Amino acid sequence: MSSHSLETYLRAAQRDNTQRSYAAAVQHFEVAWGGLLPATSDTVARYLVAYANVLSTNTLRHRLAALSQWHQAHGFSDPTTAAVVKKTLKGIQALHPAREKRAEPLQLTSVARVADWLDAAIEAADRRADRADALRCRRDRAMLLLGFWRGFRVDELVRLRSEHIAVIPEQGMTCFLGRSKTDRQGIGTTYRVPALSRWCPVKATLDWISATGLATGPLFRGVTRSGTLRAAALHHNSVVPLLRQLFLRAGLASPETYSGHSLRRGFAGWASANGWDARALMEYVGWKDIHSAMRYIDAPDAFGRERIEAALAALPGNDTAPALIKPSPSITSPVVVPLILELSLTPRRQRQSVAKARRTIETICLSPHQAIALNTDRSRYALRVEAADDLMLDEIASSLIEDLYRIADNHGHQLDASLHDEVGDRHWT
């Protein structure tokens, strides 16, 4: 005899995210707007009109889906299928067109930059015996590379389980996911993850498992300040802020533009640009229809410029035609210069904490240069400064020192800071 109730199985038939979002939508209809359930088609139409200028068309469709599900689940006729509701939504879409917001794709170059920064951060954390930071960096590296190379959504990453990871020697590993957005039947899907020569998702995942000793339970979990692994999986709402903070620390520009779909869209764009056809990409990622796939793919020649220019070049007299686009002047490629920053913060008043000032310094001044703390008291950092020549390097270093002193002074602290290049023996104070 099963120990579960009918209600338990009915709830399990729907994804947790869907349950929560539908419940919130129904609550909005009842509490925020004051609607009564069960509702009439006229009431639902007036609800749409009330929020036509506030909510996007996609959000309104989601609200209708939630109301439809509530009526069907409770044995009432579905008011959302009425002609008045459909015409109202169509009219709203016609009068309030909105551009669909899409996640900023995380390019492979950015993935590589963050992964390389994490490698250095792990090495530094291991040297200073900071178990908590080392574990977090290993976890974040595994999530980043596994999420990108398999095109996982955030909610799929947090539902991966340790016992469902299997290594295939000399090929890669498999991940079994019990349920996903495209798995409507809930039968589960096995994903094959390739072992790669660079930025390998398999190596990163196994390194995380080895460091934690995980054998069962959620694969990706929180880490306490003392370096203890939490029992529960990371919450899907916490992963995007976590990734944005990681991107900030690794020096990516505008980390706030990335969302939970950035890894998936980034891989789709990379695969398309490298010759994957739509069918192969759909099969690999798990899309069921071509329309879903095309929403994630940015064509390499999206503006059609290359094809048009190729046709123009074939026209007679092209050698005398004026150039439409002037070639950009050559620019000296910047060189990455490793620098060491040493700083000491001393509060001017007793019992004044330096933590806030240090966080501000790390966020504003150091993260653009992929800073990594080299000791436990965070008084010594390794930086990577990009400069085209010695003059630019001197300007960047001098400006950085000035910013450090300004922030320390604004927080009421005394600062001693020095920046030096161990290779070139250059110093800035």
> Percent of the chain beyond pLDDT 90?
28
255 is written with which tokens?
């980390």
Q: What is the 3-state secondary structure (H, E, C) of 250-299?
A: CCCCCHHHCCCCHHHHHHHHHHHHCCCCHHHHHHHHCCCCHHHHHCCCCC
Residues sharing a CB contact under 8 Å with residue 43, sequence separation 6 or more, in sequence order: 35, 36, 79
Per-residue pLDDT at 330 exceeds 80: no
Over 50: is that where the pLDDT of 384 sits?
yes
Name the residue type at position 359: R
Q: pLDDT band for 179, please (50, 70, 90 cuts).
A: low
Q: Does residue 236 carry a pLDDT above 90? A: no
Mean pLDDT of the chain: 82
> What pLDDT score does 327 carry?
47
| Residue 107 DSSP SS3 | coil
Q: Are 61 and 89 in contact (CB under 8 A)?
A: yes
DSSP code for 223: E
Peptide bond into 97 cis (omega under 30): no
Domains observed in the chain: 6-95 (1.10.150.130), 108-284 (1.10.443.10), 335-428 (3.30.70.1130)
In this predicted model, what pLDDT tens digit does every residue of 246-268 receive, in sequence order?
A: 998 888 888 888 888 888 888 88
Q: Out of 270-274, 297-301, 306-310, give the one with best mean pLDDT.
A: 270-274
Q: What is the pLDDT, as a whole number, of residue 20? A: 79
User: Is a pLDDT exceeding 60 seen at residue 422?
Assistant: yes
Q: Please, how many CA atoms are within 13 Å of residue 194, restricted to the half-sphere of its CB?
A: 9
pLDDT at 142: 95
What's the pLDDT band for 135 if we cut at 50, 70, 90?
very high
Confidence of residue 337 (pLDDT cuts 50, 70, 90): confident
Q: Give, rounded to a whole angstrom, the gap between the first and last alpha carbons of the chain.
A: 75
The SS3 call for residue 420 is strand
Res 182: pLDDT: 56
Find all residues with CB under 8 Å of 312, minimum gap 6, and list them. Answer: 318, 321
> Can you give the pLDDT at residue 318?
58
Report which of 419, 398, 405 is spatially closest to residue 357, judged by C-alpha positions: 405
Instruction: State the pLDDT confidence band at 120, using cuts at 50, 70 and 90.
Output: very high
* Model pLDDT, residue 352: 77
Give CA 203 to chain center in angstroms. Answer: 20
Task: Return d(Cα 267, Cα 119) in angstroms, integer.
Answer: 21
pTM of the model as a whole: 0.68
pLDDT beyond 80 at 290: no
Q: Are the C-beta atoms of residues 194 and 202 closer than 8 Å to each other?
A: yes
pLDDT value of position 356 = 85
Helix axes 236-249, 108-127, angle to 10 degrees: 80
* Per-residue confidence (pLDDT) for residue 328, from 0 to 100: 46
Is residue 94 scored above 80 in pLDDT?
A: yes
Nearest Cα neighbor of 387 from 357, 418, 428, 327 is 428
C-alpha 255/C-alpha 384 separation (Å) is: 18
pLDDT at 5: 58
Q: Give me the pLDDT at residue 83, please.
A: 93
The DSSP result for 143-180, as a single string, is HHHHHHHHT--HHHHHT-BGGGEEEETTTEEEEEES--
For residues 404 and 360, what is the distance between their CA atoms, to the nearest angstrom? Answer: 10
Answer with the residue of higher pLDDT: 153 or 134.
134
Q: Could you tell me the CA-to-CA distances from 150 to 72, 192, 210, 372, 410 in Å, in that order?
A: 36, 8, 21, 28, 45
Tokens of 61: 């469709």
Give CB contacts under 8 A, 24+ apart, made by 57-63: 57/89, 57/92, 57/93, 57/96, 57/98, 58/100, 60/89, 60/92, 61/89, 62/21, 62/25, 63/25, 63/28, 63/29
| Highest-scoring range by mean pLDDT, 187-201, 311-325, 348-362 | 187-201
Mean pLDDT of 174-195: 76
Query: Over 80: is that where the pLDDT of 112 sits?
Result: yes
pLDDT at 323 (0 to 100): 47
pLDDT of residue 70: 92
| pLDDT score of 298 more than 60 | no
Both structure tokens of 107: 């390019």
Of residues 78 and 302, more confidence is placed in 78
Residue 321 confidence (pLDDT): 47
Q: Which of 42-51, 245-254, 312-321 has the lowest mean pLDDT?
A: 312-321
The answer to whether 416 and 344 have CB atoms below 8 angstroms apart is yes
Q: How confident is the model at residue 412 (pLDDT cuts 50, 70, 90)?
A: confident
Q: Which of 319, 317, 365, 307 is nearest to 341 (CA)?
A: 365
Q: Residue 427: what pLDDT?
A: 85
